[in-house]
């Protein structure tokens, strides 16, 4: 009887120790699960550059291509705003609206034939898109503030994700005619509407955004990406 009681006491003690060790982890996991669900919607704003890479302007030589024809002086500001909704700790949907402006001009090149052609254009670009994001380095929600001497889960400050999506954009290229700018789509500047093999392009086109992103968490409510 004494041996049986001792074994029971030892087992009870062992269960108590295991509970003390394991229970905090289970509670913390449940608390973390609730925390990320409390912050699954994110409103974001962004700024960045926009530019045109094509045959108008460009390098001062014939037959250049790719980034040699990029006119850095034509870089303009682009802005975006959107809403990200976390489907899980790994997947999220990001719907956003972007605006940018691009332009090109043969006045910017000293290559004789391009400069003599003397063409130019400019257009605003409005884009609406929805992306599916996959976090391959997940962000962790820890303390709301960074207080010295406060222990506990602080969370990963940097997360990384890939994304791919679908969207549509609207553009309306215009070229200069004297002191005015006129819409080029209706003019069929490359034979659209004149040649049977060339139809006029639509001002609304399909976009396939894709890439990778990185996010730095300042605290639970603010971050830089």
Structure tokens of 36? 């990320």
What distance in Å separates the CA atoms of residue 89 and residue 155, rounded to the nearest whole number? 13
The whole-number average pLDDT for the span 157-172 is 94
Are 19 and 60 in the same domain? no
Per-residue pLDDT band at 7 (split at 50, 70, 90) = low
**Dist CA 56 CA 190 (whole Å):** 14
Would 198 be classed as within a structural domain? Answer: no
- Judged by average pLDDT, the poorest of 16-25, 36-45, 131-140, 158-167 is 16-25
Residue 184, domain member (yes or no) = no
Please report which confidence band the pLDDT of residue 28 belongs to, taking 50, 70 and 90 as the band edges. very low
Full residue range of the structural domain in which residue 13 is found? 1-38
Average pLDDT over residues 161-187: 92
Pair 25, 104 in one domain:
no
Find the mean pLDDT for residues 124-152.
75
Same structural domain for residues 13 and 48?
no
**Burial per residue of 15-26, b for 16 or more beta-carbon CB atoms within 10 angstroms, e otherwise:** eeeeeeeeeeee
Residue 53 has pLDDT above 50, yes or no: yes
The pLDDT, as a whole number, for residue 222 is 85
Q: Do 33 and 48 lie in a common domain?
A: no
pLDDT at 218 over 90: no
Within-domain flag for 191 = no
Residue 181 phi, psi dihedral angles, 5° rounding = -115, 130
Could you give the CA distance from residue 106 to residue 113 in angstroms, rounded to a whole number?
A: 9
| CB neighbours of residue 6 within 10 Å | 10
Q: What is the mean pLDDT of residues 98-105?
A: 95
Q: Give me the pLDDT at residue 75, please.
A: 93
- Among 22-36, 84-98, 211-225, the range with the most confident prediction by mean pLDDT is 84-98
Statement to judge: residues 30 and 71 lie in one domain: no
88 located within any domain: yes
Asked if residue 142 belongs to a domain, the reply is yes
3-class DSSP assignment, residue 201: coil
| pTM tops 0.75 | no
CA distances 168 to 9, 82, 130, 143, 165, Å, are: 70, 15, 10, 39, 11
Number of domains forming the structure of the chain: 2
Calculate mean pLDDT across residues 155-159. Answer: 70
**Best CA proximity match to 223, nearest among 165, 164, 156, 163:** 156
Mean pLDDT of 203-221: 91
Gap between the Cα atoms of 174 and 105, Å rounded: 12
Do the beta carbons of residue 124 and residue 101 sit within 8 Å? Answer: yes
Residue 150 lies in a domain: yes
CB 129 within 8 A of CB 99: no
Q: Is there a single domain that holds both residue 12 and residue 110? A: no
Question: Which residues touch 214 (CB under 8 Å, ≥6 apart)?
Answer: 158, 159, 160, 161, 225
Tell me what pLDDT residue 17 has. Answer: 63
């Amino acid at each position: 009887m004494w041996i049986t009681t001792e074994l029971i006491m030892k087992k009870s003690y062992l269960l108590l120790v295991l509970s003390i060790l394991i229970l905090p982890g289970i509670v913390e996991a449940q608390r973390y699960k609730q925390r990320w669900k409390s912050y699954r919607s994110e409103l974001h704003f962004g700024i960045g550059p926009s530019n045109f890479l094509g045959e108008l302007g460009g390098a001062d030589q014939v037959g250049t291509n790719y980034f040699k024809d990029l006119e850095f002086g034509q870089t303009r500001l682009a802005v975006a705003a959107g809403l990200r909704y976390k489907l899980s700790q790994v997947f999220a949907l990001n719907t956003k609206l972007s605006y940018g402006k691009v332009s090109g001009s043969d006045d910017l090149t000293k290559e004789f034939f391009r400069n003599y052609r003397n063409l130019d254009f400019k257009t605003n670009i409005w884009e609406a898109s929805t992306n599916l994001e996959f976090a391959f380095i997940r962000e962790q929600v820890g303390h709301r503030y960074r207080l010295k001497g406060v222990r506990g889960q602080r969370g990963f400050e940097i997360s990384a994700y890939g994304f791919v999506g679908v969207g549509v954009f609207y553009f309306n290229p215009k070229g200069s005619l004297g002191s005015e700018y006129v819409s080029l789509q209706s003019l069929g500047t490359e034979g659209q509407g004149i040649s049977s093999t060339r139809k006029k392009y639509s001002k609304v086109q399909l976009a396939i955004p894709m890439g990778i992103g990185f996010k730095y968490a300042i605290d639970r409510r603010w971050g830089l990406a």
